[in-house]
Amino acid sequence: MLLQKGMQVNECHCSNQMVLEQHGRHGQLLVEDCRPLRPFIRALISELPELPVIDEAADGLEAVEKAQQLRPDLILMDIGLPKLDGIEAARRIREFLPSSKIVFLTQQRAGEALREAISVGAWGYILRGRRN
């Protein structure tokens, strides 16, 4: 379907990714291995309509692949991921997306993992609590 200037579009079959790219934005990539937790996190961050979640990944290798394909502006990533931990995934993503902001999700309050997160250029981190 070709659109001409001034035409109104009543139905859109394009992805969020296409719309965002036209406006110079790419959205967020959510990387979390805990499947039941992903919809909860997605619901919380969906309150940023100008930067929607464009995709999800369940492990570090998938995060690297999707980041390379989608080029998100923001990556919310768990540190403790299978196949490739979040720190190493961030290190690899930094090689081809140096300007993307990476925010880590973690249950660790301090320690080596957080120091490493900062060393790979984390923009920040969000502490997740555990219920006892």
Instruction: Please name each of the domains of the chain with its CATH number.
Output: 16-127 (3.40.50.2300)
Q: Give the pLDDT confidence score for residue 96 in this predicted structure.
A: 95
Residues 6+ apart with CB under 8 A from 74: 27, 28, 29, 51, 100, 101, 102, 103
13 phi/psi in degrees, rounded to 5: -110, 20
**Partner residues linked to 126 by β-bridges:** 105
Helices (H), the chain: 16-22, 37-45, 60-70, 86-96, 112-119
Q: Give the pLDDT confidence score for residue 31 in this predicted structure.
A: 95
Q: Give the pLDDT confidence score for residue 85 in this predicted structure.
A: 92
Residues 6+ apart with CB under 8 A from 116: 87
The pTM of the full predicted model, rounded to 2 decimals, is 0.75
Q: Give the pLDDT confidence score for residue 46 in this predicted structure.
A: 77
At 17-75, the pLDDT tens digits run: 433 444 345 789 999 999 988 888 888 877 767 778 889 999 999 999 999 999 999 99
pLDDT band for 109, please (50, 70, 90 cuts).
low
Ramachandran sector of residue 10 (left: φ over 0; alpha: ψ -120 to 50; beta: rest): alpha
Mean pLDDT of the chain: 77
> Residues, the chain, total?
132
The tokens for 70 are 């989608």
Judge whether residue 128 has pLDDT over 60. yes
State the amino acid at position 53 in one-letter form. Answer: V
